[in-house]
Amino acid sequence: MMIQVLSEQLASQIAAGEVVERPSSVVKELVENAIDAGATTINIDVREAGRKSIQIADNGSGISAAEIETAFLRHATSKLREIEDLNAIRTLGFRGEALATVAAVSQLTIISRAAGEAYGTRLTLEGGIKVSRDTSGAPQGTVISVENLFYNVPARLKFLKSDQTEKRLIDDFVTRYALAYPQIRFRLTHNGRITFQSSGNGSVLDVLVAIYGPEVARQLLEIEPVETAQSASQHVRITGFAGTPAVHWSNRSHIALFVNGRWIKDNRLTYAVIQAYHTLLPTGRYPLAVLFLELPPEEVDVNVHPTKIEVRFRGDKAPFGAVQRVVRETLVADAPIRQMSAWNVGSQLEAMTPGWEGALDNHAFGRADAQPQTELGLTWADSEFEPTSENGQAGMSLGGEKLPIMRVVGQIGAAYIITEGPDGLFLIDQQAAHERILFDKYVGQWQASKVDIKTLSVGTAVTVSPTQADWITQQLPLLAEIGFQVEPFGPQTFMVRAVPELVSGEDAARLLLAMVTCVERPSNKPTNLAQFLIEVVSEHAAIRAGQSLTTAQMTQVVQQLENCADPMTDPQGNPTFIYLSVAQLAREFGRI
């Protein structure tokens, strides 16, 4: 073959691979252009995960009729004039590649009207070649429709992932830009359905609520704006939010970093954030953090890669230390209260052991670390109360797995019910017991396909994040099956109309949110979703530790537990009670 210069079109198609890899890259580039154009409203409409069409409408400066064709030439930009300008980029774009490359691999229509012009211009291109041009009435701003992306580069189409993945990548970009530009109203629709929108009121926290829902947003700590001198020449200002250690995910994708309004990927800075959470999160879990770094533009090199998603920090090193420090300080500032109470319990225990109070305090709240209190000679039910073991030591027959008839003696630590059985003493964990009771009844009703429901006279509205909304929408039939009648009531809002009679005393919104958040945890992959949800609801509707009960209430709990088929444990497998036989008491008191 002869050596020839490639045609402009072919060169663009080849180059497209670097800038426009998938639908989300189109969204990213066009949203960046809208932001650079000073838009205050940006609407993104995506069809079929962007394969069919992507339309971005903004109310920015618009492109003048005289320049609109130039904008589609390769390396055509209004944002850079001289090589020196590269040293201090203040716009998101500067390479003049996006419009040319997007046009080269799609069928594109642009309608734009510049400020001060009477008409807009409509231009259509196919594979980067102009097809038509005319004037068109239009509001100030720009609307770009990208249809049939990669129609002329089928090889690219093969590399696209599932619709779900492509959609998620688009969501990621849009939500990140909404975070970086809270003063801009964003609206994202997939196949006509709004999946995300921000108000444009300037509050980053409000955007976070829109993304993650109110539950998660409550767990966010605002980072006090700090200005640190990274070195003599490098100053960095850091703001943002860090999640408390109570929220964590199985991957790093919820750590979002922005440098001068640009969402970036940087392994070192991400690692700095993770380091700040050192010892605070379970291993293999990652925090939620949204950090905005502000540096003089001349200290950041954004021209590292065509996608502009990596940056290089001039000066000596990335503001690694500064990031780690501010995040850690934010977490520690929030933590003293918790550390104090943990310490208190510890020292109390030391002072009181062995003693009922110390032993009980340790277990009153949270059972994760529940260990037998061996000093007391108390053993968890299974050693001495194992229904299958023929120990005969305590001389008590249990009659299968059923509990004997018991008499309520009292309550201790507002968490445990003390009862007397035929041959010993029972300490019943009121929360675990009630979870078991609710769960058994609830599952029973569900298996019989007749969950008693209570219609709420006024529905309860619940607002959730877009992903949570997706889940609820998918599971509406299942939710109804387990007694929750829920209706869509706006893009991310649902109305609970009826709840299971069994838990009707509880806040319906809280129960729905509990289910949604539990299924979100990647560790929770229930084989039987309905049963899992019933378990979650039972757990959240049960009497809590810390709740004082009247004798009548305690008697009710005890009687119902006696009637349970499997009274020994709660649905998660934690013991519902500790048993102390008369013989064991006698031993403890040195009588035998």
Pick one of 25, 61, 195, 581: the residue that binds ligand ADP (CB under 6 A).
Answer: 61
Nearer to Mg ion, 97 or 570 (CB): 97
CB of 294 to ligand ADP, least distance (A): 22
Residue 79 makes contact with ligand ADP by CB under 6 A: yes
- Rule CB under 6 A: say whether 97 interacts with ligand ADP: yes
How far are the Cα atoms of 47, 111, 374, 383, 407 from residue 418, in angstroms, in the given order? 62, 76, 19, 19, 9
Task: From 42, 307, 52, 24, select the one nearest 167 (Cα to Cα).
Answer: 24
Q: Which residue is nearest to ligand ADP (CB)?
A: 93
> Closer CB to ligand ADP, residue 88 or residue 586?
88
Residue 76 makes contact with ligand ADP by CB under 6 A:
yes
d(CA 323, CA 327): 6
Residue 56 Cβ, how far from ligand ADP at the closest point, in Å?
7
Q: Which residue among 62, 200, 319, 358 contacts ligand ADP (CB under 6 A)?
A: 62
CA-wise closest residue to 58 among 42, 37, 47, 44: 42
Q: Which is nearer to ligand ADP, 29 or 166 (CB)?
A: 29
Q: How far is the CB of 528 from Mg ion (least distance, A)?
A: 50
33 vs 94: CA distance, rounded Å: 10
Stretch that binds ligand ADP, among 41-49, 58-66, 128-136, 247-255 (CB under 6 A): 58-66
* Residues at the interface with Mg ion (CB under 5 A): 33, 93, 98
For the sheet with 262-264, list strands across it.
Answer: 220-229, 235-243, 289-294, 255-259, 262-264
Cβ nearer to ligand ADP, comparing 102 with 515: 102
58, interface contact from ligand ADP, Mg ion, none, CB < 5-8 Å by kind: ligand ADP
Decide which of Mg ion, ligand ADP, none touches 60; Cβ closer than 5 to 8 Å per partner kind: ligand ADP
Stretch that binds ligand ADP, among 77-85, 171-179, 488-496, 497-505 (CB under 6 A): 77-85
Phi, psi for 208 (deg, rounded to 5):
-65, -40
Q: Which stretch binds ligand ADP (CB under 6 A): 70-78, 207-215, 529-537, 564-572?
A: 70-78
The 10 Å Cβ neighbour count of residue 330 is 22
Report the 3 state secondary structure along 186-224: EEEEECCEEEEECCCCCCHHHHHHHHHHHHHHCCEEEEE
Q: How far apart are CB 150 and ligand ADP at their closest, in Å? A: 18
For position 45 contacting ligand ADP by CB under 6 A, the verdict is no
Residue recorded with tokens 């550390």: 339
Q: Which is nearer to ligand ADP, 58 or 215 (CB)?
A: 58
Closer to Mg ion by Cβ: residue 86 or 221? 86
Residue closer to ligand ADP (CB basis): 140 or 189: 140
Q: Cβ atoms within 10 A of the Cβ of 151, count? A: 15
Q: Which residues contact 100 (CB under 8 A, 6 or more apart)?
A: 12, 72, 73, 74, 75, 76, 128
69 binds ligand ADP (CB under 6 A): no
Strand ranges (E), 341-482: 407-412, 416-421, 424-429, 453-463
Token duo for residue 371: 């260990």
Contacts 24+ apart (CB under 8 A), 361-369: 361/413, 363/415, 364/413, 364/414, 364/415, 364/416, 364/545, 364/546, 365/415, 365/545, 365/546, 367/429, 367/432, 367/574
Q: Does 287 bind ligand ADP (CB under 6 A)?
A: no
Q: Is 95 in the site for ligand ADP (CB under 6 A)?
A: yes
The window from 98-106, 348-356, 421-429, 488-496 that contacts ligand ADP (CB under 6 A) reads: 98-106
Closest C-alpha among 253, 165, 162, 245 to residue 211: 253
- Candidates 93, 319, 466, 500; binder of ligand ADP (CB under 6 A) is 93
Q: Which residues bind ligand ADP (CB under 6 A)?
A: 29, 33-34, 37, 58, 60-63, 71, 76-79, 93-100, 142
